[in-house]
Amino acid sequence: ADFRPTFAAEKLAARHGIKRAPKTIRQIMMAEGLWKPRQKRSNDTHRQWRERKARFGEMEQFDGSYEHWFEDRDGSGEVCLLAAIDDATGMITRAQFAYHEGVLPVFGFWKGYVEDLGKPRAIYLDKLSTYKQSNDIAKQNHDALSQFERAMTNLGIEPISANSPQAKGRIERLFGTLQDRLIKELRLAGISAIAPANEFLANDFIPKFNKQFGI
């Protein structure tokens, strides 16, 4: 009942062989009271999107999202999804679940990224203390670097700090999509723990997602 019409149409076709256009599924769901079309607000303002980078690997947008990804099955609670999206192609380049967005999980994430894909030219991220020294320390010493900044500098990768969530638009929109689709995919697959979820991401979800949504 909580599936959006387009995603419902995809899963009906993939899992049950019921192939109907999303607009047909939408009409059925509306008739059954399972879906209400969104009303376009008259005061919606046009937003100017930043132009994509020209090439794959030129810039990765990276962040972590805390969510009840496994819907509390088996007492799983809230966990963190670390994810990177390529700015040029909109493809998920890497994603993995961790218990938190601390130094060790983040370093493990980027170690795996570099081993699989090589070094990106730049990483666009927020000002979490894992990535950037606090304002107080930075004011006292302009040369002070976080462990993450030091590691990226040594590797020749430029860390770029965003000044607002809106600046990291692609990764923010990605998490919105994942909070809708990935949660349901994990439910359908009966996955409720980090290790099998990471296998599912790498072997199943990300390849299919990139084939469908990558540019």
For position 167, what pLDDT does the model report?
57
Res. 133 pLDDT band, cuts 50 70 90: low
Sheet of 79-86: strand order equals 92-98, 79-86, 60-67, 122-125, 158-161
For position 42, what pLDDT does the model report?
56
Query: Are 170 and 61 spatial neighbours (Cβ–Cβ below 8 Å)?
Result: yes
Which of 85, 91, 97 shows the shortest CA–CA distance to 168?
85
Structure tokens at 101: 């967005």
Give the least confident one: 3-12, 152-161, 165-174, 177-186.
Answer: 165-174
Res. 169 pLDDT band, cuts 50 70 90: confident
- Span 173-186, pLDDT tens digits: 999 999 999 999 99
Torsion angles phi and psi, residue 207, rounded to 5? -60, -40
Checking if the pLDDT of 26 tops 90, the result is yes
For position 140, what pLDDT does the model report?
54
Which of 105, 60, 65 shows the shortest CA–CA distance to 81?
65
Q: Measure Cα distances from 37 to 4, 10, 67, 131 in Å.
A: 10, 19, 26, 40
Res. 139 pLDDT band, cuts 50 70 90: very low
Neighbouring residues of 175: CB distance < 8 A, sequence distance ≥ 6 = 63, 65, 81, 83
Q: Is 35 helix (H, G, I), strand (E, B) or coil?
A: coil
Res. 52 pLDDT band, cuts 50 70 90: confident
Structure tokens at 201: 């991401």
Checking if the pLDDT of 70 tops 60, the result is yes
Q: What is the rounded CA–CA span in Å between residue 70 and residue 73?
A: 6
Q: Measure Cα distances from 137 to 40, 143, 179 in Å.
A: 45, 10, 35
Give the least confident one: 10-14, 42-46, 66-70.
Answer: 42-46
